[in-house]
Chain A
Amino acid sequence: MSKSAASGETLYIQHFGNEEARSLDYYLKQMQGYTALKKAFGMKAEQIIDEVKASNLRGRGGAGFPTGTKWGFIPKASQKPKYLVCNADESEPGTFKDRDLMRFTPHLLIEGMVIGGYTIGAHTGYIYIRGEYTREAKLLRAAIDEAYANGYLGKNILGSGFSFDLTVHRGAGAYICGEETGLLNSLEGKRGEPRVKPPFPAQAGAFGGPTIVNNVETLTAIPFIVNQGGKWFASLGRAEKSGGTRLFCVSGQVKKPGLYELPSGGVTLRQLIYDYCGGILGDKKLRAVIPGGSSAPVLTPDEIDVVLDIEPLMKIGSMLGSAGVMVVSEDYCLVRLIWRITKFYEHESCGQCTPCREGCKWMKDVLWRIESGKGRDQDLALLLDIAENINGKTLCALGDAAAGPVLSFVRKFKADFEAHIRGKRCPHAP
């Protein structure tokens, strides 16, 4: 795995792969550990929120919502206990950045969460971690124990009078628990099903209290912002509205897959694939790229000169999402790929709302029919219609996540589907 640093300054990647980096000792000595926390205790909550707003930090989980604005939604007058929840469910296929952040820099997350808790007035924090991340959960717990033992968590942290408890909660293996209200239900011990919004978590989230849910990468940026200022953090980014660096998870048929930390909006997709990742495996032709986790609509080779950031990708009808870049070469069957992606969403649909529960399975069945050579001429129109009937009409974003890829694959790679239907077999099949 290559973990090359980018031309700009990096915050995390230099510590990845270093087993010692996760200790409190390393964190204190090499990473100015917990100095941001001390500084934060001398600031007012509004000042911290202003810094976060100035930093142009946007949610790294997928939606890209400005973090400072989100924190500002917490009602100050509420008498109910408030909660800060870290979404470490990282279940979007093609995404593996939070795993390394928790594995190598767990104290960065803890410090970010204590500052976050202090800012929004929460005294309880949860890290909802993906069930399969057993090793990371263990490492996080060890780091939390270390932090408790040294007074960075618990009662009266660093003599500030502020108390904050942090608990690691392991998920049970459902993609939908990465959706913030599904996550909160699961955290409360209920079925992992998204809730109707409004109310939004900031009004009524975990256990009915005002709650902020942030991604791991979002929270680990907080200590840097507090220490070095929102303006400095914003200057790390190359785009107007996106600050900081961004961890790109590159997978698929490239020569050097792995994590790349690059300035937000600093590179194009072409640069990432050909300059950083060394091009396509075996110097084959590029066929397609999924730029932001499997729920992002697919891009053709003609579209890869797009700058990898939220707005430019949205402009061409895709999304940056969780920055999980999946590269597909000419060797792989795109029909089989979209069938496999749809199968994932069908499997992960929670089943509560009609279009997603019924539609994902239907799309999967039709796609499999096409892939296995039994497709019919009318199937493409049917697929598009089913996907349109799901898109934007479901309770949570999982419906869109399942429909978007199907729409984009069928529209952009129609010839591939038609080849399957006319030839009555998959051209890639042996």
Chain B
Amino acid sequence: MPTCTIDGRQVEFKPGENLVEAAKRAGIEVPVFCYHPGLSVVAQCRMCAVEVQGIKKIQTACSTKAAEGMVVLTQSEPVKKARESVMEFLLINHPLDCPICDQSGECDLQDNSFGHGSAHMRYTEERRTYVDLDMGPVIKKNMNRCIHCTRCIRFGDEIAGIREMVAMQRGNNTEITTLDGRPLETDYAGNYADICPTGSLTLKDFRFKKRAWMVKKTATVCEGCSRGCNIELHWDHATVFRTLPRENASINRYWICDEGRFNYRYIHDEQRVISPVVAKSGAAAPGWPAAVVAAREALRGKRVELLLGSDLTLEEAQLIQKFAGDFFPGARLSHFGTPGIKSTSDDGDADKILKRKSKTSNLHGMEKLGVPGFGALSKETTGILVFRAGRAELPEWGGVAAVGVGVFMEPQAARFAALLPSATFAEKDGTIVNFAGVSQRLVRAVPPPGDCKQISEILMMWANSGRAGGAS
């Protein structure tokens, strides 16, 4: 690889790489606002000022490609002065409302001001203010905080494929807004908040719920479709507060869709069944031993089929396969998840960005285990055992006796003789296989709520409840 010198260090770089990325390789951080590795380079904010030997003017690292033998200074006096002046320019109109701003703590403007700005303020004129229009259900806008980096405009244009964020007016009055002040249309709107370097665009969903530094972070994978975008769950105690995309160049780059971003909400849905349910028992809370017995009884003497949601992990599905062999020998296993998608050949891109047609995470894993897609119950079937995580859509099964294991909502409970509640993707570890055959790990962030148990534990109780001494 060719090399250049940055702050006296020899740095190898890939041809075509800019100085921000090249410096990163040497562990040198060049501060940026408008530059984003997933978007085009506009060199507008001027924050990434560097000195390049042989060039008199200060250069912007984002728009300067590294070249063999190039000598770059990122900490010289002229560079420091240039950055300090950019910080001053950006802050003269920026409100000092960090204490009530949701971005505080994860704000590029705050960080760079601390790192490169001056504590002294020379501006005495009136600050520029704007009136904001509503941007729809996802994003809250505060134009007064905007630093005109245009990342949002470029995201809409280049990634979401919709030019809905635009610059209106010009010069000092430039306003970054939606076209004609309309609400946002893209179903990738959450990314606007992620890439906004200030508190100008924040998530309505997360607003005022938690300070950014109070959350714990767990790196895991989205279960929203068969792509398996890499995400980070932000949580505290037993509550998940938000989902952020995690960079993965080969799967989702820097983005996630809104469906995946807000998928976590059902974890804390009031209607989620979080303790075992037995129909017709009359008891509000039968407790686990009675419920497991009731579940066994409901299927006793029946010809049983097992239906597996294609949102289960590989480990869960394998365990269920083994369980079926022991307790329902000869029973048919099939998977369900998205109506109309029986196999991976039915799956495909649902849009030009990230979304896949299969709305469950492990369709391809199910196929790997040899479980076929569900079509219809065989005529002889008189009972079914349904396993499901959070997203697989329940198929029709008529009037046969049904027992459910997994994650269910109250309206669904009526379809089951017994329900044994289990854990969502955020509450368990496991492996899922995405559409391209990449195995990825789900990592547990929070404990399951209420009386929910892992499927492994539920199957163990089922097995044990038949032993001597078990209730009958």
Contact = CB atoms under 8 A, between A and B. Distances in A.
B58 A196 contact: no
A221 to B, nearest CB: 31
Interface string A364-384: 011000000000000000100
A362 B122 CA distance: 11
Nearest to B92: A358
B167 A191 contact: yes
A interface secondary structure, majority: helix
B173 A393 contact: no
Contacts of A395: 43-44, 46
B169 interface: yes
Nearest to B150: A352
A355 B173 contact: no
B77 interface: no
A395 B47 CA distance: 12
A349 interface: yes
Contacts of B150: 352
A94 B147 CA distance: 33
B86 A355 contact: yes
A350 interface: yes
Nearest to A349: B171
Contacts of B93: 358
Contacts of B92: 358, 362
Contacts of B89: 354-355, 357-359, 362, 389
Interface string B38-75: 00011111110100000001100001000000000000
B122 to A, nearest CB: 6
A191 B165 CA distance: 13
A289 to B, nearest CB: 28
Contacts of A138: none
B46 A351 contact: no
Interface residues of B, number: 33
What band does the interface of chain A fall in when counting residues whose beta carbon is under 8 Å from B? 20 to 34
A196 B41 contact: yes
Contact of A354 (B46, B171, B173): B46
Contact of A351 (B49, B58, B86, B173): B173
B58 A354 contact: no
Nearest to B87: A354
B57 A352 contact: no
B63 A351 contact: no
Contacts, number: 87
B85 interface: yes
B172 interface: yes
A361 B171 CA distance: 9
A360 to B, nearest CB: 7
Interface in A338-355: 346-355
A225 interface: no
Interface string A312-355: 00000000000000000000000000000000001111111111
B174 interface: yes
A82 B82 CA distance: 38
Contact of B174 (A351, A365, A393): A351
Interface centre among B92, B169, B172 (most CB of A within 10 A): B172
A353 B44 contact: yes
Given A358-B92, A393-B46, A393-B49, A351 B169 contact: yes
B90 interface: yes
B44 A352 contact: yes
A360 B85 contact: no
Contacts of A358: 89-90, 92-93, 172
A23 interface: no
A389 B46 CA distance: 11
Given A389-B85, A393-B82, A354 B45 contact: yes
A355 to B, nearest CB: 6
A357 B167 CA distance: 13
B125 A357 contact: no
Given A358-B90, A362-B92, A350 B171 contact: yes
B171 A357 contact: yes
B146 to A, nearest CB: 11
A25 to B, nearest CB: 44
Interface centre among B88, B150, B171, B174 (most CB of A within 10 A): B171
B170 interface: yes
Contacts of A227: none
A352 B169 contact: no
A392 interface: yes
B171 A346 contact: yes
A358 B173 CA distance: 10
Interface string B253-295: 0000000000000000000000000000000000000000000
B234 interface: no
Nearest to A395: B43
A350 B57 CA distance: 21
Contacts of B49: 393
A395 B41 CA distance: 12
Given A358-B92, A393-B46, A393-B49, A351 B170 contact: yes
Interface centre among A191, A349, A357 (most CB of B within 10 A): A357
A174 B122 CA distance: 31
Closest 3 CB pairs of A and B: A351-B174, A389-B85, A358-B89
Interface of A: 174, 191, 196, 346-355, 357-362, 365-366, 382, 389, 392-395
Given A352-B174, A357-B148, 5 more contacts: A348-B171, A350-B170, A352-B42, A360-B171, A393-B86
20 contacts: A196-B41, A196-B63, A350-B171, A352-B42, A353-B45, A354-B44, A354-B86, A355-B46, A357-B148, A358-B93, A359-B89, A361-B172, A362-B89, A365-B125, A389-B81, A389-B88, A392-B58, A393-B85, A393-B86, A394-B46
